[in-house]
């Protein structure tokens, strides 16, 4: 029970303001500390600064500026510091090829926005993080 009460910090990378707002609101209700960024570049900068404080990454696929969610995942998976950071891709890009590409790179889970309830995504995310922290600190 103790592990479930842990407050996680999550970095949400999402460029659509209304979507970002609702994600932040729902995550806060589920006891997450939320940081937000809107592009790959900004997200990388933020991750490098707060590497130790971020427990998970919420990532959209299409992002403004250089690169997409895939670029960011590729970067992180090459970096020893972030190799084990749980990444949840939440996007409306439902193409099988994209999903497979993400999965091959070792992301934790892929959600299609239009097909999932927000509450459900967050619940699953939290369960995953609780499980992972239980394994780390039994």
Interface residues with other proteins (CB under 8 A) are 16, 18-19, 22-23, 25-26, 29, 62, 92-98, 113-115, 117-119
Q: Which is nearer to other proteins, 95 or 106 (CB)?
A: 95
CB of 133 to other proteins, least distance (A): 25
User: Do 133 and 59 contact (CB within 8 A), yes or no?
Assistant: no
Helices (H), the chain: 17-29, 40-49, 69-78, 96-104, 118-136
107: three-class secondary structure by DSSP: coil
Q: Which is nearer to other proteins, 55 or 60 (CB)?
A: 60
Q: Which is nearer to other proteins, 20 or 82 (CB)?
A: 20
Q: How far apart are CA 120 and CA 76, in angstroms?
A: 26
CB of 109 to other proteins, least distance (A): 17
Q: How far apart are CA 19 and CA 79, in angstroms?
A: 29
CB of 28 to other proteins, least distance (A): 10
CB of 115 to other proteins, least distance (A): 8
Q: CA–CA distance from 99 to each of 38, 55, 90 (Å)? A: 21, 22, 11
Q: Which is nearer to other proteins, 47 or 90 (CB)?
A: 90
């Amino acid at each position: 029970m103790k592990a479930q009460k842990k407050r996680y910090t999550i970095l949400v990378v999402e460029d659509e303001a209304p979507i970002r707002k609702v994600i932040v609101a729902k995550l806060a209700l589920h006891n997450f500390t939320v940081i937000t960024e809107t592009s790959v570049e900004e997200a990388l900068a933020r991750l490098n600064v707060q590497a130790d404080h971020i427990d998970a990454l919420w990532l959209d696929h299409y992002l403004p500026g250089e690169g997409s969610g895939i670029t960011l995942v590729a970067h992180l998976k090459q970096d020893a510091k972030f190799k084990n950071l749980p990444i949840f891709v939440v996007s409306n890009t439902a193409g099988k090829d994209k999903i497979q590409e993400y999965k091959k790179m070792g992301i934790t889970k892929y959600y299609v926005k239009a097909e999932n309830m927000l509450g459900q995504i967050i619940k699953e995310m939290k369960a995953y993080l609780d499980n992972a922290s239980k394994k780390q600190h039994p």
